[in-house]
Amino acid sequence: MVDLKLIEPTPEYAEQIKAYRKEFLDNGDSMDGTSGLRRYEDPQDWLKVVSDHKDPKTVQPGHSPATQYIFVRESDRKIVGMIDIRHVLTDYLSKYGGHIGYSVAPSERRKGYASQMLKRALPIVRGMGIERVLITCDEGNEGSARTIMNNGGIYESTVYEPDEQINLERYWIDLKAEPKNYIKWIRSKVGHEKIILTCAGGCVFNDAGAVLMQRRGDTNKWGFPGGMMELGETPQMTAVRELKEETGLDVEVGDLIGVFTDIDVRYANGDVAQCIVIGYRLNVVGGTLTCDGDETLELRYFSKDEKPEIGSPAHEEVWNVIFGEGR
């Protein structure tokens, strides 16, 4: 996804803005995170509103100053998404709207654009001095909820919005949380004693149904990409981070494969742990498959009939679940 850019809208994208609006109108969809684009047939009128909303001196009374962005695919200059960042929370936003609203063009959905767009927006939010970000989505909108959780969102509650008569799920993303090397820190306290570790990763499948596996540098055996959770992470964040580090792929988290808890591991350095392993189906949205030659010696897709020598009981369990062997 290297040809995507998140920028503020300018007049040179007038035709693309018009096309984005038309696609939503034709599809009968709401235009979340677009600064009211639905109301403006002329893109120049909308651009004036966007400019006024950014400045606290010219924003409409009762509204929060906000910065509008468009997510542009450079190869064809198409706007595939829009995202609106509100600088402060009004009473309404603090209950229902949140700091960020976004949408993806109907024809461009299920391609990972929403997760990528939100990921690129969060450093901008942090730069505004906002340390906790509230994002809401319609109850039952699994795609939007997954996008938020993929970027560190933690579910808080569901509230009823009386004007639209809908239930909204509220999620918070903590931008203050900086993952540290939790394993190193805890081992400095307890040495090699047995501890509980939580791991997350998952399975990437190709079009033929074969699953991606990694030959690990520490065991020289095969397993699924993944690793230990760090402080400040959700399991989904860990899976996304580990896949990038170990395979070079950008992924978004899909369905849960399983949670495996009765797994005792003794590491070569003498550390002992009971591992809780959380496995997901993962969808590739970008990146290039790459071995680092250190943690990952080889990457290869295996079909059900090509099972390699697997180096972990947890990964054996994952294999059995995805290919229906024994469970």
Residues 6+ apart with CB under 8 A from 188: none
Contact 213, 299 (CB under 8 A): yes
Contact 224, 192 (CB under 8 A): no
How many separate helices (H) and strands (E) can be counted in the chain? 8, 14
Whole-number Å distance between alpha carbons of 238 and 246: 12
Taking each helix axis from N to C terminus, what angle separates 43-54 and 14-27, rounded to the nearest 10 degrees? 100
Residue with tokens 């509100």: 86
Catalytic residue among 23, 161, 298, 316: 298
Query: Strand, coil or helix: what is 129?
Result: coil
Whole-number Å distance between alpha carbons of 181 and 159: 36
| Residue 230 is a catalytic residue | no
Determine which helix (DSSP H) or strand (DSSP E) holds 196, and give its type and residue range.
strand 195-203
Give strand pairing partners of 132: 174
Residue with tokens 């998952």: 202
- Please list the active-site residues: 298
